[in-house]
Chains A and B, each alone.
Chain A
Amino acid sequence: MNARARPVGDRAVLLELPDNAAVHVAARRARERYGEQLAEVVPGHATLLLVGRRGRPRVDLDGLEAEATAEATGAPVLLTVHYDGADLQTVAGQLGVSTNAVVSLHTGAVYTVAFMGFAPGFPYLVCERDSPLLGLPRRAGPRPAVPAGSVAVAAGYCGIYPRRLPGGWNLIGRTDAVLFDPAREPPALLAPGARVRFQAGEL
């Protein structure tokens, strides 16, 4: 795999990969082959950060290209969403469609967790095909507090707020699913590479 490796200090290396699917395969292989010497394996957008326990990790991920295309991905996690988000009307208006059409757009696609961040358990979901919903810009100003479980779209991503947090994305609904619980194993409901589908729940 033609991964460009950029040094990150004396303890880490940042691999640039062709796409997010390649990132998730590389992350799995890095853990399998080099888990002993790695403190963290952190996917980003088309990048993979490998943090060494001691020195900068030296990894050889050759032969991943074929695996990346051949590897079957798991069944999607199904999340129920109550589509009553504070921005649902505005989003429908921006797209020039009905709110029902927004729900259909959102439930009609399969998503993949590209990477996580912002808060523990917060997934940055990308759509497996182009979605006008995810292409919407962020709100002009962020809200100081977005309710836990809010499902939001902006800037190429769909996100789910694991807890009450500030946020500038467009809120389309909410889920009762617990995205993050440090007392649970695993603590995060979703992980990078996980696939997700949404279904409409009762309001």
Chain B
Amino acid sequence: MTRVEVVAPGPLTTIQDLGRPGFAHIGVPRSGAADRPALILANRLVGNHAGAAALETTLTGPRLRFHDRALVALAGAPVRGAVMYDAFQVEAGEELRVGTAVRRLRTYIAFAGGLRVPLTLGSAATDTLTGLGPAPLRAGDVLELGFGGAKYMPEHVFGPSEPGTALRVVPGPRADWFTPAALTLLTSAEFTASHQASRVGVRLDGPALARAREGELRSEGLVPGAIQVPPDGRPILLLSDHPTTGGYPVIAVLHSDDIPLAAQLRPGTRVRFRAVP
């Protein structure tokens, strides 16, 4: 059994896979990697299946001491001084320090064989909203790796593309709750990812989005990428651990291909949106 000890966990390092879909109707968020393509890439680099359990960091990564030799790969937010987007061997007794991301927010650390973690509703993911899945990493934790991996190593690997000029949004489902000016603002003004940012969602600073009507919406189902707007007009962009239902009207929803970019928005990053049908 290959073991990896957590010397220091970093501010928030969680175990993630592709989550637990199919339970939203009983109030269970999908959860899983916030930046799914980055998790898949890290897994592919060490020859794992796409959804093997790996680590997701937040801004700064963990310090890990390897009790046994292992093959490791990093993808997602690039870390200063670290080998990115390429598998590398860590020898028994060595320590891997995953430092602070140069840009973006979340780095994925995959291990050949994946992390061996008890599954909750079919997934190893830590859901920070409901507490399902393993607790975030703590110093002294010992992670166990599975077998396999490294059967297939891609010859060419492309890191993530840099975000374009604007993230794509599809207006609605509740765009009619807002003034025409609010819709124009959403797709023309600049917003800033605030420090109120988690795996549940990120609050956006910028112009307030005014509603065209009074009252509250009754609860309805939510998706990742939904931009919901509380009465104060400050939008919240939902991510992987979002609640399954909610009553704030959703003015627009990110195109699914742009959700990984939103998941990498670091507090203070500026962001724009453009409407697509």
Contact = CB atoms under 8 A, between A and B. Distances in A.
Contacts of A182: 120-121, 132
A137 interface: no
Contacts of B243: 117-118
Given A120-B132, A191-B25, A192-B25, A42 B219 contact: no
Given A115-B219, A187-B26, A44 B245 contact: yes
A8 B254 CA distance: 9
B22 A45 contact: no
A17 to B, nearest CB: 11
A12 B255 contact: no
Contacts of A41: 25
A9 B253 contact: yes
A111 to B, nearest CB: 16
A198 interface: no
A43 B225 CA distance: 19
B156 interface: no
Contacts, number: 113
Nearest to A5: B173
Nearest to A27: B25
B250 interface: yes
Nearest to B227: A9
A41 B26 CA distance: 10
B244 A117 contact: yes
A173 interface: no
B256 A14 contact: no
A188 B26 contact: yes
A65 interface: no
Contacts of B24: 40, 42, 49, 51
Contacts of A51: 24, 221, 223
A9 B109 CA distance: 30
A142 interface: no
A117 B219 contact: yes
B7 interface: no
A130 to B, nearest CB: 17
B245 A42 contact: yes
B137 interface: no
Range of interface residues on chain B?
20 to 34
Interface string B207-227: 000000000001111110110
B170 A42 contact: no
Contacts of A121: 26-27
A6 interface: yes
Interface in A6-32: 6-12, 14, 27
A46 interface: yes
A188 B21 CA distance: 15
B269 interface: no
A46 B220 CA distance: 8
Interface in B199-253: 218-223, 225-226, 243-246, 250, 253
B25 A6 contact: no
Contact of A10 (B121, B173, B256): B256
B37 interface: no
Contacts of B255: 9-10
Given A39-B22, A191-B25, A9 B120 contact: no
Interface in B162-190: 170, 172-174
B109 to A, nearest CB: 26
Nearest to B217: A45
Contacts of A169: none
Nearest to A116: B27
B115 interface: no
Given A44-B245, A49-B223, A115-B245, A8 B26 contact: no
Interface of A: 6-12, 14, 27, 39-49, 51, 115-122, 124, 180, 182, 186-188, 191-192
8 contacts: A8-B173, A9-B223, A27-B25, A39-B21, A45-B220, A47-B221, A118-B27, A180-B26
List of 10 A-B pairs having minimum Cβ-Cβ separation, nearest first: A49-B221, A117-B245, A44-B220, A42-B221, A9-B253, A45-B218, A6-B173, A188-B26, A116-B27, A40-B24
Given A40-B221, A42-B25, A42-B245, 12 more contacts: A6-B172, A9-B254, A14-B173, A27-B25, A44-B219, A45-B219, A116-B244, A116-B245, A118-B245, A120-B130, A121-B26, A192-B25
